[in-house]
Amino acid sequence: MVVMGRWDQFKYRVKAFFKRERRTNKKILFGVDVSPPMRTFPVNPSKFKIILGFFQIFGNFQSSFTVKWSTGVQNIMGVSQKFNLDFVAIAGIDCVITKNFYFDFTATVGLIALVVSVITAYFYAGMRSYRRKLQLIPRNCLRCGLPVLESATIRNDDESFNPFLLLKSWWRTYNFNKRATRADQLGTGKAEYANTTSVVSVVKETRALKRKFGMSQVRTPYLGLFRSVHTKCPIKRHVLSGEMLDRTIRSNLRVWQARVKLRMNYLTYRNKCLKLYCWVALFLYPTVSKTILTVYNCQEVGDVYYLVADRRLVCYNGVWAVFGVVATVGVVVWVVGIPFFFGLLIWLAQDRGVAPRLRLLRKPQLRVQRQKWLKEVEEQQLADGRYVRDMDSIEVQDEELAVHMKRKNLADSTVQARLGFIYAEYADSFWWFEVVDLSRKLFLSGVIIFVGNGSVEQVLLAAGVCLVTMWFLLYFQPYDGHSDNLIACIAQLQLFFTLWLGIMIQLNDLNSDSLINTQLLGYLLVGTCIVVTGFGLSMIIGEGLAESRRLFIEAKAEQTKKVRDEVWKRWNKAYNYAVYEAQMLRFGGDLKFADLSEPAILEASRRAKLAHRGEEVVSAMPRIDEGDGENSLTEVFLEVDSRNGVAKKNSKAAPRTGVRLPEST
């Protein structure tokens, strides 16, 4: 009791201290922090990715094409090549030891393997940590009351990071939908759809659909599923009942909240690890792909084939065969695997549950649900400005429903948190454009070295790819933002202009007379590159400032709204107080409960709660004796609270209210 008394005194002192601080702090107004919001500078990742991709490809032109670039152009390409994150070249190891291409290849592949291994190790360590934390807060069995530590393993391949498990999940879902569709087609001519058995089957299928293919994608397969009761209780005779069962249920509810928060944190951790994997792949994809493909770039000199990247190394011997096998694995896992993995992740996310939903919506028992979905489709078509003919046809409806469901899957918050950085900056119909962009980087950085190395045709083909990409960006505008399309088009135009200058230089070298001032073209290229870079950075800074200003205005508006709400709340309390005081001063003890106005009743209820907690009620009116009624107004409210479980006994020490209640009350 002494400890509890001191603890109450300590809490009272802490509360009093914070109250004094809030009163003396000028930045607190009516309990709301009105200090100026902190200004932030958000950066659009899409523009950052576009600028980074431009520098990576522009820097690779120096080693991919045998063009006699001017000194200024070479310097700019050398600076741009730093964005390829070639750590071997950045470290400057050649100043310490003598190295060849095989050393660079080994260092690059080993560094990628090390980074991926470290991320994977941290990922599995975090998974084990969350599993241990979940086991530390078990629920209690509703039969015996002991902690339940039994769990069932949930196998959920579509949530895995393994592409083979993802393909297995897709193949299993595809076969399931194929068999279900064939069964529906065989049973279309039967008239038993409206009977009770069919209705029950639809209900079961709907429940199974919600469990397996529901819109909610919050799943934690590694943590397992814990039961609420033991499969076999350790104590057979003891069974919870009555008050102990109620306490166990309330305790399990609190534990359940903590476990749900822990699982949500686990999902956030998984999403961050996946983002880290993908960001590493996006940044290092052009450099590592070029290094892997360079192993196969050999040129015949006499009767011997030499590696183009390092003329000291001979191709097609024993050493080259070892590195060739490693490069082949790298082509499958990295060069082809990264775009395939990105596309597979997004494709499975958008197709998740679409076919089973369509199969269920074809059933007559779900006609109402189908109409709701079709209404959403029509609203989306109206918002997009599209008109679809033959919407009365079942086939057309299914096609539009499938498109709408796929769009909703990609718009799901959990999917965007996991994969949104890959497709979020693109329009809904161009979710696959990141794979195309990776393929473009691969072609301009790695594949182009195999097309007539050092020839004019090689540069012409690369310029044609840049021109086609620019036409695609201008015509289809795959990015969701207009400024993103503009920056991407300007970057492609700059790459095309660089390659056009390379063609001019090569043609000028083939001619005995110098007909073109390559030095002037070099200055022009340097100037345009600086202008493009400055334009992209100005767009990023401008949008960042505009977004920062918008967030600041929204924060100020939110503060104003909170202050307005607090003022309105305090005014209502003051109004209720004034009405109650006025009625009590006017009528005194002759006032009956039925004659009280609504504001006075609210004020009386507030005073009753204060009296029940033992707090003093401040009143400006003189003391008025209570009427002759058996119950005071405070007692009435306390009796109501006791019936609701708030108070367990009536308070006889009520404040002065002076209200006389009828016997019926």
Please compute the mean of the pLDDT values over residues 513-521 and round it to a whole number: 76
Please compute the mean of the pLDDT values over residues 82-103 and round it to a whole number: 70
* 3-state SS assignment for residue 337: helix
Q: Determine what percent of the chain is predicted with pLDDT higher than 70.
A: 75
CA 434 to CA 171: how far, in whole Å? 24
Q: How do residues 591-645 score in pLDDT, each as one tens digit?
A: 666 677 888 888 888 888 888 777 776 665 555 444 444 445 555 454 545 444 4
Residues near 416 by beta carbon (within 8 Å), at least 6 away in sequence: 410, 424
pLDDT at 596: 76
CA 93 to CA 230: how far, in whole Å? 62
| Overall pTM > 0.75 | no
The C-alpha angle with vertex 629 and arms to 628 and 630, in degrees rounded to 5, equals 120
pLDDT at 95: 61
pLDDT at 612: 78
The least confident of 106-120, 134-148, 327-341 is 134-148
pLDDT at 663: 38
pLDDT at 146: 80
Higher pLDDT, 69 or 32: 69
- Could you give the residue ranges of the DSSP H alpha helices within 39-100? 45-64, 71-80, 87-91
CA 513 to CA 82: how far, in whole Å? 36
The residue ranges of every structural domain in the chain are: 1-35, 354-421, 517-665
Higher pLDDT, 475 or 357: 475
Please compute the mean of the pLDDT values over residues 205-211 and round it to a whole number: 55
pLDDT beyond 80 at 11: no
pLDDT at 576: 87
Q: How do residues 129-186 score in pLDDT, each as one tens digit?
A: 988 888 888 888 887 878 887 766 655 544 555 666 666 666 666 665 666 556 555 5
- Full DSSP string of 576-629: HHHHHHHHHHHHGGGEEGGG--HHHHHHHHHHHHHHHTTPPPP--SPP----S-
pLDDT at 195: 44
DSSP state letter for 229: S
